[in-house]
Homo-oligomer: A and B are copies of this chain.
Amino acid sequence: MDTTRNPYISVDCVIFGFDGDKLQVLLINRDRKSSNGKTGNRLKLPGDLIIKGEPLDESAQRILKEYTGLENIYLKQFNVFDNPERLSNEENLNWLRKSSGVTDIYRVVTIAYYSLIKLDMSGRTDLSIVYDARWYPVEKIPGLIFDHNEILESGLLNLRKGFLTDPLCFELLPTKFTLNQLQKLYEVILGFELDNRNFRKKINRLEYIIPLNERQTGVNHKPARLYVFDREKYNVLKKAHTGFIV
Residues of A near any B CB (own CB < 8 A)? 6, 8-9, 52-56, 77, 79-80, 82-84, 106-107, 109, 111, 160-161, 164-165, 190, 241, 243, 246
Closest residue of chain B to A109, judged by CB?
B9
Enumerate chain B residues within 8 angstroms of A53, measured Cβ to Cβ.
Answer: 84, 107
Contact partner of A80 (CB less than 8 A), chosen from B106, B111, B160, B246, is B111
Enumerate chain B residues within 8 angstroms of A160, measured Cβ to Cβ.
Answer: 241
Q: Is the CB of A52 within 8 A of B6?
A: no
Q: Is the CB of A55 within 8 A of B83?
A: yes
Q: For the complex, what is the distance from the CA of A161 to the CA of B109, rounded to whole Å?
A: 26
Q: Is the CB of B55 within 8 A of A84?
A: yes
Contact partner of A56 (CB less than 8 A), chosen from B6, B56, B82, is B82
Q: Is the CB of B107 within 8 A of A80?
A: no
Enumerate chain B residues within 8 angstroms of A190, measured Cβ to Cβ.
Answer: 241
Closest residue of chain B to A8, judged by CB?
B8
Closest residue of chain B to A79, judged by CB?
B77
Given A9-B9, A107-B52, A107-B53, the answer on whether A164 and B80 have CB atoms closer than 8 Å is no
Of A6, A54, A80, A106, most B-chain CB atoms within 10 Å: A80
Q: For the complex, what is the distance from the CA of A28 to the CA of B33, rounded to whole Å?
A: 53
A109 to chain B, nearest CB (A): 6
Shortest 6 CB-CB contacts between residues of A and residues of B? A8-B8, A56-B82, A53-B84, A80-B111, A164-B241, A55-B82
Enumerate chain B residues within 8 angstroms of A83, measured Cβ to Cβ.
Answer: 55
A-B contact pairs, 9 of them (CB 8 A): A8-B8, A53-B84, A54-B84, A55-B82, A56-B82, A77-B79, A80-B111, A109-B111, A190-B241
Closest residue of chain B to A82, judged by CB?
B56
Q: For the complex, what is the distance from the CA of A84 to the CA of B243, rounded to whole Å?
A: 34
Q: For the complex, what is the distance from the CA of A246 to the CA of B242, rounded to whole Å?
A: 9
Enumerate chain B residues within 8 angstroms of A79, measured Cβ to Cβ.
Answer: 77
